[in-house]
Amino acid sequence: MSGNRAVVYVEPGKVEVCNTAYPDLVLRDGPGVNPLNVGRKCDHGVILKVVTTNICGSDQHMVRGRTTAPSGLVLGHEITGEVIEVGRDVEFIKKGDLVSVPFNIACGRCRSCKEQNTHVCENVNPDRPGSAYGYVDMGGWVGGQSEYVMVPYADFQLLKFPDKERAMEKIRDLTMLSDIFPTGYHGAVSAGVKPGATVYVAGAGPVGLAAAHSAQLLGAAVVIVGDLNKERLAQARSFGCETVDLSEHDDLGGMIAQILGVPEVDCAIDCVGFEAHGHGRNHAEAPATVLNSIMQVTRAGGRLGIPGLYVTGDPGAVDEDAKIGTLKIRLGLGWAKAHTFVTGQTPVMKYHRELMMAILNGRAQIAKAVNATIIRLDDAPAAYREFDGGASRKFVIDPHGVVGK
């Protein structure tokens, strides 16, 4: 084959669908590729025909110009596809397999991978542990919001769906396994959600909704979701969550008390990240708001799951400290309350198989929870704008028009 089309970051606020090179089993030079990764041979990899690829809130940070992402970067780290070519070193993945791709790239050979910490693989990013497709400072692996993509370390990483026809019937749910569902689930697990727990989820974007649904799956008694966006709060209520509208009030503890009778929860999950705003009618960007507020409302001895993205470089930050990821966090409060914090990328491979089984057997309805919306590849620029405007949708790109068939 020759040729490929992909969603490319152009400049702040602008993405385009462009013609790009058809992938092969070598990491070629290009926008964002670490020089030490150029020419890296991937005979352990496969070429996928992309079936679905999702727009993520993490992509929006780059598109807004809030990172150092270079122009020309091919976006997309949430990938589900059909294997159409296998490298000579691939033993167990075959042509025709339908697979989910964990967003964090992992070699399967380093100490981190062997300890299931695939989110901090030591061999895929020359700058620091951890990597992802189509993301700034993550080694330069080409993104998957495209027609075709190369995926390395196929035997180790890929989750093969056991029944292709059955999987296509559930593809709107299964496409969430590459990132959003494991990320929300990881946030809930990290926060210690268990049967009977009361849970606060900060943020009603797709990851927040996935975390809320995950908390329900884990047996939470009450899940409260807070946001500034009324449409997204309505989506949270559509599957049984309580909500607090932070655009109207700034007393989070008081709003929780109206629901639970006490101003605190057993555990909390930050699904907002570094572009957080303050609370109340005159809210403005205040990146430490969510971290400080969840410490305030989580009981002593509780746990905080923090899957929300925080970065080391934010050129659009509100102050000089925040530009390098230094935030005014009330660590003393967390220390005094003996909180446990869990941060970082989600180790997708730790969770994706069990979540696949929950989907295939009707226990999880993640597509409904996040309002999955199928679009064409050419619709991606408009979807980015709509998502940036606060639409309560999880946009799923169908590059080859196969999902509706």
Distance (Å, whole) CA 25 – CA 346: 26
Q: Span 287-308, mean pLDDT?
A: 96
> pTM for the full model?
0.96
pLDDT band at 3 (very low <50, low <70, confident <90, very high): confident
Helices (H), 17-170: 57-63, 111-114, 154-157, 164-169
The pLDDT of residue 397 is 98
pLDDT tens track for 298-337: 999 999 999 998 988 888 888 898 889 899 999 999 999 9
pLDDT at residue 261 above 80? yes
Q: Span 122-138, mean pLDDT?
A: 95
Q: Please state, for a pLDDT cut of 70, what percent of the chain lies above it.
A: 99
pLDDT at residue 275 above 60? yes
- What's the gap between Cα 385 and its chain centre? 18
Exposure letters 317-329 (e unless 16+ CB within 10 A, then b) = beeeebeeeebee
Structural domains in the chain, CATH included, are 4-178+347-397 (3.90.180.10), 180-343 (3.40.50.720)
Lowest-pLDDT range of 169-173, 318-322, 361-365: 318-322
pLDDT at residue 45 above 70? yes
Q: Count of CB atoms within 10 A of residue 239's CB? A: 16
Scanning the structure block, which residue is given the tokens 């093969």? 160
The pLDDT of residue 405 is 55
pLDDT at residue 2 above 80? no
3-state secondary structure of 160: strand
- Average model confidence (pLDDT) for the chain? 95
Distance (Å, whole) CA 295 – CA 87: 48
Q: Which amino acid is at 14?
A: K
Q: Span 361-385, mean pLDDT?
A: 97
Q: Exposed/middle/buried for 89, CB within 10 Å: 0-12, 13-18, 19+?
A: middle
Q: Which residues have C-beta within 8 Å of that of residue 57, sequence separation ≥ 6?
A: 205, 206, 207, 273, 309, 387
Lowest-pLDDT range of 118-127, 245-254, 279-288, 328-337: 279-288
Q: Is the Cβ–Cβ distance between 40 and 384 less than 8 Å?
A: no
Distance (Å, whole) CA 291 – CA 279: 13
pLDDT tens track for 10-42: 999 999 999 999 999 999 999 999 999 999 999
Lowest-pLDDT range of 59-63, 150-154, 166-170, 281-285: 281-285
pLDDT band at 120 (very low <50, low <70, confident <90, very high): very high
pLDDT tens track for 78-103: 999 999 999 999 999 999 999 999 99
pLDDT band at 387 (very low <50, low <70, confident <90, very high): very high
The pLDDT of residue 316 is 86
Q: Is the Cβ–Cβ distance between 25 and 150 less than 8 Å?
A: yes
The pLDDT of residue 280 is 85
